[in-house]
Amino acid sequence: MNVMTANAMVAGPVNAMTVDVEDYFQVSAFESYIPRERWDQLPQRVERNTHRILDLFAAQGVKATFFTLGWVAERHPALIQRIVAEGHELASHGYAHIRVTQQTPAQFREDVTRTKALLEDLGGVAVQGYRAASYSIGASNLWALAELEQAGYRYSSSIYPIRHDLYGMPEAPRFAFRPVNAPTLWEVPITTVIVFGQTLPCGGGGFFRLWPYALSRWALRRVNQADQQSGIFYFHPWEIDPDQPRQPGINFKTRLRHYLNLSRMERRLQALLRDFRWDRMDRVFLTEGGAA
């Protein structure tokens, strides 16, 4: 049975597959250990890992959205060109993975405008989507959504409607909505599932590596079937790279979150690609039958 026939047999809504294109040393959890001035001195693995992801997607016939750092795009323009050439959506992850909570409105405006222009120049396509570093848009800085609208973005995927020690806006809607202060923009929150009245994460990242795959599959199917909604899955290129350099001196919580089950991630991802229907963010949420 070929890939396209197999995918057509998977029931339920089409979900959005997304990749946050950043290197292992650029994660927010390493900010206090690895200053940005050292980034160019460290072994870069993001290009190799992202090519591997593109190979996996090609083998399964999956198209995805790549939320890409401007810093990465500048250094690896051929990677950007492959993403676009193979039919994936190119979107913005900001320039240098600075959380929105650490920026003034003026700094944020310059960041998202600069990165959009850079990606469009390298990719030769319009950039419509944005994802904040570490889901750092929440109740305290919703002004950022208005800035994104003004900068010409059509959607954001920057709010995680859960309680978490590093991010989250539990009172936010669980599914795509138009912000009051940015009425032409869609905010598409990361996917969650309701279990015994509690909102739990099921959109990927560290939670996907922590939970058994069967539980993650059940949660996304519940969103598709019970909520009748498309879900979003996200992960990072470094998550399929168990051989990445280990950072010394990091605390136990950070070490656990970053390195847990990296050796199992690629196998779980392959199962996820087979078990659900996937497409790009713009085609799931900005086209007829989607959010818009």
The DSSP-derived string for 196-234 is TTEEEE-SBTHHHHHS-HHHHHHHHHHHHHTS----EEE
Secondary element (H or E) of residue 3 = helix 3-8
Task: Quote the CA–CA distance of 218 and 17 in Å, as a whole number.
Answer: 17
Residue 6 placed within a domain: no
Q: What is the pLDDT along the chain (292 residues), one digit of tens a residue?
A: 333 333 444 567 999 999 999 999 999 989 889 999 999 999 999 999 999 999 999 999 999 999 999 999 999 999 999 999 999 999 999 999 999 999 999 999 999 999 999 999 999 999 999 999 999 999 999 999 999 999 999 999 999 998 766 676 889 999 999 999 999 999 999 999 999 999 999 999 888 999 999 999 999 999 999 999 999 999 999 999 999 999 998 898 888 889 899 999 999 999 999 999 999 999 999 975 455 5
Residue 82 placed within a domain: yes
Residue 5 placed within a domain: no
For residue 31, give both structure tokens.
Answer: 């900010």
Looking at residue 290, its pLDDT comes to: 54
Looking at residue 6, its pLDDT comes to: 39
Residue 267 placed within a domain: yes
Task: Quote the CA–CA distance of 73 and 34 in Å, as a whole number.
Answer: 20
Task: Quote the CA–CA distance of 62 and 233 in Å, as a whole number.
Answer: 13
Residue 1 placed within a domain: no
CATH number, domain containing residue 95: 3.20.20.370
Residue 290 placed within a domain: no
Using the Cα atoms of residue 96, residue 101, residue 104 and residue 106 in order, give the sign of their dihedral: positive
Distances (CA, A) of 255 to 76, 96, 191, 258: 28, 22, 25, 5
How are the residues of the chain apportioned to helix, strand and coil, as percentages rounded to the nearest 5? 45, 15, 40
Looking at residue 167, its pLDDT comes to: 72
> How many structural domains comprise the chain?
1
- For residue 74, give its domain range: 13-36+43-285
Q: How many CB atoms lie within 10 A of CB 142?
A: 17
Angle at 66 between CA 62 and CA 72, to 5 degrees: 140
Residue 159 placed within a domain: yes
Q: What is the pTM of this model?
A: 0.94
